[in-house]
Structure 1
Amino acid sequence: MTDEQRKSVALEYLKGFDNGGVTSDGAPLLDLFADDAQVYFPKWGLATGKEEIARLFGDVGATITSIRHHYAGFNWILTGTDTLVCEGTSHGEHRDGPWRAGVPEWGAGRWCDVFEIRDWRIQRVFIYLDPDYASADKARYPWLTEG
């Protein structure tokens, strides 16, 4: 696969979240994954295989009413290998409240995903973000409670 082909699979994955877990052709998001794929999500851990990935997505998805990724601002690192990285921003509605990248500047909405894509299937995606979407966890960080 070329970098652009791998990037197209990663974009389909991200757009699938914006579309409620459904790809552009109406298939479930899990169809983009290899059977033994791995997904990491902060405060959830590592899911291996489609069954665990479905549980991870169900657990996290149950807390999110809507999400929109800001595609025009994505930064891609394409390596010429099976690995690629996408850094971006998002906004949406969490059960605890809304979020938007940059509002506040230290809050949720900035993320980075590291993908491994081979044979048109996601083998691995490690998601790096602050899962405190509504920015409610302030007490443990003194710089957020000062002034």
Structure 2
Amino acid sequence: MAITTGTMTDEQRKSVALEYLKGFDRGGTTSSGAPLLDLFDDDAQVYFPKWGLATGKEEIGRLFGEVGATIRAIEHHYASLNWVFAGDTVVCEGGSHGEHVDGPWRAGVPEWGAGRWCDVFEIRDFKIQRVFIYLDPDYAGGDRDRYPWLKDR
């Protein structure tokens, strides 16, 4: 972890988080064309459900590559994002739609399906130190047999 060298405002931290989300919508590049990994500190951590915890840019790149290989397209719903700020911590809740290798998804269609998510960031010195991603990785809604309430839907 790097020593903090400058104070950031909530709006500055939000701009880093938005650049990260928009980078996924652009296929893994920032608005300047740089790789998404440039937004991360060297020893950052990323958690993704069913993948686990990645530490450092090399592992984070592997996580993004493996998960990203299953997603053909994604678009986050920026107009309806909810933001919470507490020091270096930024929480963003929202929805998305896109195309997974198993099929399409859209937040709220069906209501119980994938597409709703919440990311918890720690952002310091204009770098993502940590982002834990909370969502249902069953984008196409195929995992119904293990949940009795979904069998007939």
- Match of residue 136, structure 1, among 138, 142, 148: 142
Q: Partner letter of residue 40 of structure 2? A: F
RMSD of aligned alpha carbons: 0.7
SS of alignment partner, residue 102 of structure 1: coil
What TM-score comes out, normalization by structure 2 length? 0.94
Deviation per CA, 1:107-130: give whole Å up to 9, x if none.
000000000000000000000000
Q: Which runs of 4+ in 1 moved over 2 A?
A: none
| 1:38-77 pair list within 5 angstroms | 38-77=45-84
Aligned positions, number: 146
For residues 34 and 40 of structure 2, the distance between their equivalents in structure 1, rounded to whole angstroms, comes to: 12
- Verify: 1:109 aligned to 2:119, yes or no: no
> How many percent identity over aligned positions?
82
For residues 139 and 62 of structure 1, the distance between their equivalents in structure 2, rounded to whole angstroms, comes to: 25
Give the superposition deviation at 1:145: 1.1
- Verify: 1:2 aligned to 2:3, yes or no: no
For residues 84 and 128 of structure 1, the distance between their equivalents in structure 2, rounded to whole angstroms, comes to: 14
Q: Partner letter of residue 48 of structure 1? A: T
Deviation per CA, 1:33-84: give whole Å up to 9, x if none.
00000000000000000000000000000000000000000000012x1101
What TM-score comes out, normalization by structure 1 length? 0.98
For residues 127 and 68 of structure 1, the distance between their equivalents in structure 2, rounded to whole angstroms, comes to: 16
Q: Partner letter of residue 93 of structure 2? A: E
Give the superposition deviation at 1:146: 3.7
Q: Which residue of 1 aligns with 2:3?
A: none
Q: Which segments of 5 or more consecutive residues in structure 2 lack a partner in the other structure? A: 1-7
For residues 73 and 27 of structure 1, the distance between their equivalents in structure 2, rounded to whole angstroms, comes to: 27
